[in-house]
Amino acid sequence: MKPAILVTILITCAGRPALAQSPENPPKFEAVDVHPSAKTTNQFPRFGTVRGGRYEVKTATVVDLIRTAYGFDADKILGGPNWLELDRFDVIAKVPAGSDLEAQKLMLQSMLKDRFHLTVHTDTKALPTYALTAGKKPQLKEAAGTEDTGCRPQTASGPPTEGGMRITMMTNGSSAPTTINLGPGMTIQYQCRNMTMAAFAAGLRGMMGANIGPNAVMDETGLKGAWNFDLRYSMQFFGPMGGDPSDRISIHTAIEKQLGLKLEEKQVPTSVLVVDSVNRKPTENPPGVAEALPPIPAPTEFEVATIKPSDPNSRMGRYQMQPGGRMVAEGLPLRFLINRAFNTNNNEELVGLPPFADSDRYDVTAKTPSGGPALGPMDMEAVAPMMLALLKDRFKMTYHTEERPVSAYSLVAAKPKMKKADPDSRIYCRNTNAPPGAPPGSRVFTCQNITMAQFAERLQNIAPGLNWPIENATELEGGWDFSLMFTMRPMMAMGPGGRGGEPNSAAPGLPAASDPAGGYTIFEAIEKQLGLKLEKQKRTMPVTVIDHLEPKPTEN
């Protein structure tokens, strides 16, 4: 069984944020540099912690900046021009001494108003959420009141059962990761003790792999008092994990069959933030910004690092950037570490690796230099040169680059089944878990007002086999709306009814996937659901050739 990567779950409480009244003289950054982000394949926002009075954001859309500044989830930021989730910006700012997180949010609001001329207002709109209701016969045990209150996953004790696996998770506020054993079908068991139904409903969204949407679950059970119960369900993850589909239990089924309760979807009036106006191009950086915010050279080496072989009995894998610049990798093959050194997930981009690079697993703990820029938990671009230096030093790795023919793809039009977009609608693509009932590892890729060139660009690395840039050869003009449902398990053998997952739930106003059956590979889904095709071709691309790699690292 392949090791599982650590999943970091941040458990948050959902509320209805209100637009705070800005003070007459709102706090502002002492200096701020705003500029368009450089083009990268990792198009996701990166928010680093403030270090040395320096506040940094990378590759953030205006929606990301508004979400951070005003405290609204992205799906509750409405209105505005169509590019609001398309264009990306870097923000580097100098923060006054002693500024807390709330002050930094107000400073970001001031920056958006001053540099983008942003104006917003709050409103109320009916949005979908879930309500927890009581069935005919709730299967709960009344609590004595002396139990430790909370719902907690059952921690690991001994090796996983047959068909299961071990995984590590970290919850918000915990100082150390928790290791748990999963049962067949990626089932996790939560033990809930001394829990009111209101508290259970509020915490459901944060349960690991529950995947029940971004909005708070409402308690409509009418059950008073506190209760004891266990809940076992299958987690939904990004990737090809999942086990035998017959072993899987959706959280909806688990709540109904095991607790005698129900999760019912309903529309609920919700506070939203509406963008009235915003400029696409921010105003120019004022004079003196370059002197006030000199570039900090990115570190090229870890300050200190230890490497040791992983416990052969351990089946978990973890890769994590922790606060304070501590990098932790556990139970990971050498190939994974080499991929991180070149900041790629494309195994075809790295050739010449010996067999032990896939079989030998290592634990690495390293500390980034304290004087470097603040690193967020997903800033793999900044970690890459330090990991490269570590591998060159400890495994004596040498390499060179050269051009080689590779198998790449072009996107062509066959019999398009997509809907022509409203040109004023938001431009975006969102990659989410498939709904309950879909085969394990299934994803839903929903796009609105997206051009075929933009779609081809976003297809790279979306699923196994799409390792190289996709060329757009459709000759289709303008923006399109569509939803695509596919599995991350390209070679999965589907049993009877294996493609019969529930239809995907596209965003309101967008078409559902045409022929939205589960179990299609990305190649099948593009052809059957969109009427397009991915045609393989030989293309010359730069690759990295590993010339030498020692099987064992030098001593710590």
Q: Tell me the mean pLDDT per 10 residues along the chain, length 556.
A: 37 41 78 92 78 88 96 93 96 92 94 97 93 92 94 78 67 60 85 95 89 86 95 70 67 94 91 97 94 87 94 74 81 93 90 94 90 62 91 97 95 95 94 73 90 95 89 97 84 33 41 57 94 95 96 92
Residues 6+ apart with CB under 8 A from 108: 65, 68, 69, 91
The pLDDT of residue 284 is: 96
Using only C-alpha atoms, what is the Rg of the chain? 25
Q: How far apart are CA 314 and CA 167, in angstroms?
A: 10
Q: How far apart are CA 401 and CA 351, in angstroms?
A: 10
Is the Cβ–Cβ distance between 545 and 401 less than 8 Å? yes
The pLDDT of residue 71 is: 93
Place of tokens 């095709």: 533
| Alpha-carbon distances, residue 359 vs 108, 192, 246 (angstroms) | 47, 39, 30
Phi then psi dihedrals of residue 532, to 5 deg: -115, 175
Reference 200, options 268, 135, 145, 255; nearest CA is 255
The pLDDT of residue 11 is: 34
The pLDDT of residue 238 is: 43
Residues 6+ apart with CB under 8 A from 52: none
3-state secondary structure of 69: helix
DSSP character string of 482-532: EEEEEES-TTPPP-TTTT-PPPP-PPTTSPPPSS--S---HHHHHHHHHSE
Q: Sketch the domain layout of the chain as residue ranges.
A: 31-118+278-292, 128-270, 304-397, 416-530
Taking each helix axis from N to C terminus, what angle separates 334-341 and 380-394, rounded to the nearest 10 degrees? Answer: 120
Give the count of beta carbons closer than 10 Å to the beta carbon of residue 283.
11
User: Is the whole-model pTM more than 0.95?
Assistant: no
